[in-house]
Amino acid sequence: MRNRSASFARARAAPARAALLVLACAAMAAPFLWMAATSLMGQLEVFASARILPETPLWSNYPEALTAQPFARYFLNSLVFSVAVVAGQVGTATAAGYAFARIDFPGRDRLFMLFLATMMVPAVIVLIPRFLMIDALGWIDSYQGLISTELVSVWGIFLMRQYFRTVPRELEDAARVDGAGPWRIFRSVALPLARPAVATLALFAFIDAWKNLLWPLLVTRSMEMRVVEVGIAAFHSTYEINWPYQMAAGVVAVLPIALLFLFTQRYFVRGIQLEGIR
Amino acid sequence: MTTPPRAVSLRGVEKRFGDVAAVAAVDLDVRPGELMVLVGPSGCGKSTLLRLIAGLEEATAGEVWIGGRCVDNVAPGDRDVAMVFQSYALYPHMTVAQNLGFGLKVRGASREDIGRRVDDVAALLDLAGLLSRRPGQLSGGQRQRVALGRAMVRDPGVFLFDEPLSNLDAGLRLRTRDEIAALHRRLGTTMIFVTHDQVEALSLGDRVAVMDGGRLQQVGTPHEIYRRPANLFVAGFVGSPPINRLPLSRGADGHLAGGPFRFAGDWAFDEATLGVRPEDLGADPEPTGALPGATPADFKTTVLRVEALGSEQRVHLDGPAGAAWIARVSPALEVAAGDRLAVSVAWDRGHLFGPDGARVAAPPCPIPDLRT
């Protein structure tokens, strides 16, 4: 009797839950849809009140926006930046995560806590010291300046450490008896088993780098070194704002991320789950 | 297989985890080509001892010698040992062939050599059809064989087995036990086998080392361990059903007495324990003396319960002085709970343990002098 009333209550709640989810989805999707709609409007049409969709879609906004600045170069820079950050973060996070998870060295746990503590510091606070360091090295407006301070992710180290702790120790013991040293065990046993976590880390690192505006804006000067995000922001100058062009470039910039998400959704979910591993 | 079997020698080996001594002052010599079984209850230190031999743990004190050299500062991979783990520890991302060949690859063997030796071992263990599969696609028994093959392919001087049968069902366990015994006969390699199963220990080992509380309690052949247990722990741990016990204490006449029994002698202690194996009790409705060396009816008692196991019967008795005793008797004996039985004891196979639990060297006194 109790079961029947419980399932009846669930059935009654289902439409309400569905309505809530539709509302949440709409709230999430609205900015993207608005961006897409704006990208097809005329300059003045954007400011027309109560207009959500363009009267006549201006598809020409896209080629014009993408040729108003050297976006091909910007995309290349974004790609180089993002791929290098992924490679760097995967390299450092897997090695450090494995060391924190498996190698006994004095002060290991304290050092790990110190690493974690840096996650509490807002990124903006370290922006100036980072800039001064890169300036001192003479790396302003260069790939090494853009990339070097982004190569370590404490979140990534935390993620990998948590994952490596779930790899059965007996596998590593078996490899030791088989004659493998620490590097070989890391490379041939632990790392291949951590592929799901590595994929998650790589995905998050790529997206973070791709949509990073503040650091590339600060550390790049020339158009040759600009990334896509900085290029999009450049449509918004002191005296002029070209919303349709900016939104058109924004739509194009978000496409790779959207496609990536479509094909790798499960790694996003896994990434969120992995943060809960103890 | 070409590597000669290695001797393994432990000299005063100790392993402490903080204040806890997992292994305490263990001296043990395993002869070349011998199958030594380490047996004991959970937490007795047997797996830790095996890991110390493998080099997976560092001894707090003492020395480990393998093949005549001290290996205390030698990496696990250079100790000439191979290990089969309880969980098999197969690399899940590698195929069976890659699992088998990993140790050889790490050692820089050529591709041809790896292929040849993997094929040889696969043929020997009936794994040839499974080489391209991953461990997740294998049954428990197949995984066990791959783990065995991974150890064999390197042709080590010593095999270490850490409870490798505990994840198998009863039938497969029995079959694999026979296969390991056959493998030992064929290879002649030194093997050290850890188990908590005393039947496994007695049936497999050339010699058995019984451990408890991190210490070696006794080392001997299965027969010695069973027939001449060094102490009360070994007597109680080895044997199923366990040995029957009766506490004894010195009476006013100076004899050790307990229940209906009195043992004359010049005893150096006031308290002791009598131990009698269940098969050394004769139980019969008529006091005829069922066993050689037994006397008719040492005591008469009531049957509490009967376990009919087909090949034998285990008769739970209201033992002397209220002790719960079990007699292992023929299935032909017609007996049921509540029956009265005349029980005889084969005294020449009995044991007397001193107050510290150690077996007293002298056997129990002849029956005419001992009985009440």
Look at residue A49 and tell me if it is in a domain: no
Test B87 with A193 for CB contact under 8 angstroms.
no
pLDDT at B289 over 80: no
pLDDT at B320 over 90: no
User: Which residue does chain B place closest to A170, by CA atoms?
Assistant: B89
Q: How many CB pairs under 8 A join A and B?
A: 64
pTM: 0.81
At B194, the pLDDT band (50, 70, 90 cuts) reads very high
Q: Note whether A204 and A112 are same-domain residues.
A: yes
How large is the average pLDDT for residues B217-243?
A: 94
Class of domain B8-237: alpha beta
> What would the pLDDT profile of B31-77 be if each residue is shown by its tens digit?
999 999 999 999 999 999 999 999 999 999 999 999 999 999 999 99
Nearest to B107 among A176, A179, A188 (CB): A179
Residue B102 and residue A183 in contact, taking contact as beta carbons nearer than 8 Å: no
For chain A of 278 residues, list the mean pLDDT of each consecutive stretch of 10: 66 84 93 92 80 85 92 95 97 96 93 93 90 96 95 94 93 95 94 91 92 94 93 82 91 90 78 56
- Whether residues A181 and B75 touch (CB distance < 8 A) is answered with yes
Fold match, B8-237 / B244-370: no
Residue B296 in this model has a pLDDT that exceeds 70: no
**Residue A56 falls within a domain, yes or no?**
no
Whether A179 maps to a domain, the answer reads yes
3-state class of A181 per DSSP?
A: coil
Count the domains in chain A.
2
Residues A7 and A111 in one domain: no
Q: Are B264 and B365 in contact (CB under 8 A)?
A: yes
Q: Say whether both A130 and A266 belong to one domain.
A: yes
**B290 vs A258, residue with greater confidence:** A258
Domain residue extents for chain B: 8-237, 244-370
Same domain assignment for residues A101 and A228 = yes
**For residue B78, which residues of chain A lie inside 8 Å, CB to CB?**
179
Q: What is the pLDDT of residues B164-183, one digit of tens each?
A: 888 888 888 888 889 899 98
Task: Identify the pLDDT of residue B361.
Answer: 63
A68 shares its domain with A32: no
Is residue B337 over pLDDT 50?
Answer: yes
Same domain? For A173 and A235 the reply is: yes
Q: Are A154 and A24 part of one and the same domain?
A: no
Chain A residues whose CB is inside 8 A of the B92 CB are 171, 193
Are residues A170 and B87, on separate chains, in Cβ contact within 8 Å?
yes
Looking at the predicted structure, is the pLDDT value of residue B16 above 90? yes
On whether the CB atoms of residues A191 and A127 are closer than 8 A, the answer is no
Q: Are residues A17 and A74 in the same domain?
A: no
Q: Is residue A159 part of a domain?
A: yes
Annotation: CATH topology of B244-370: OB fold (Dihydrolipoamide Acetyltransferase, E2P) (2.40.50)
The predicted pLDDT at position A52 comes to 79
Indicate if A168 and A89 belong to the same structural domain: yes
B contacts of A185 (beta carbons < 8 Å): none
Among B56, B93, B150, whose Cβ lies nearest the Cβ of A176? B56
pLDDT of residue B85: 93
Q: Which residues of chain A are within 8 Å of residue B93 when distances are taken between CB atoms?
A: 192-193, 195
CATH code for the domain in which residue A136 is found: 1.10.3720.10
For residue B292, CA distances in Å to A234, B262, B279, B280, B366 come to 106, 21, 12, 10, 14
pLDDT of residue A190: 95
Measured between CA atoms, the residue of chain A closest to residue B103 is A178
Does B87 touch chain A if contact means CB atoms closer than 8 Å? yes
Check whether residue A22 and residue A135 sit in a common domain: no
C-alpha span between B172 and B180 (Å, rounded): 12
Average pLDDT, chain B: 89
Note the pLDDT tens digit of each residue in B238-247. Answer: 998 999 999 9
CA-based nearest residue in chain A for residue B100: A178
Q: Are A171 and B81 a contacting pair at CB < 8 A?
A: no
CA nearest B56 in A: which residue?
A: A173
Find the Cα–Cα–Cα–Cα dihedral B143, B144, B150, B153, rounded to 10°. Answer: -120
Residue B1 has pLDDT above 60, yes or no: no
| List of chain A residues whose C-beta atoms are within 8 Å of the C-beta of residue B87 | 168, 170
A170 and A105 assigned to the same domain: yes
**Does residue B350 surpass a pLDDT of 60?**
yes
* Amino acid B368: pLDDT: 46
Quote the domain boundaries for residue A160.
61-274
Strands B35-39 and B207-212: parallel
Determine contact: B150 vs chain A, CB below 8 A. Answer: yes
**Whether the Cβ atoms of residue B140 and residue B176 lie closer than 8 Å to each other:** no
Q: Name the token pair of B215.
A: 């210490």
Average pLDDT of the segment spanning B121-147? 92
pLDDT value at B298 more than 60: yes
Q: Strand B81-84 vs strand B158-162: parallel, antiparallel, or unpaired? A: parallel
Residues A114, A32 within the same domain: no
Largest alpha-carbon pair distance within chain B?
Answer: 81
Give the span between the Cα atoms of A144 and A33, in whole angstroms: 36
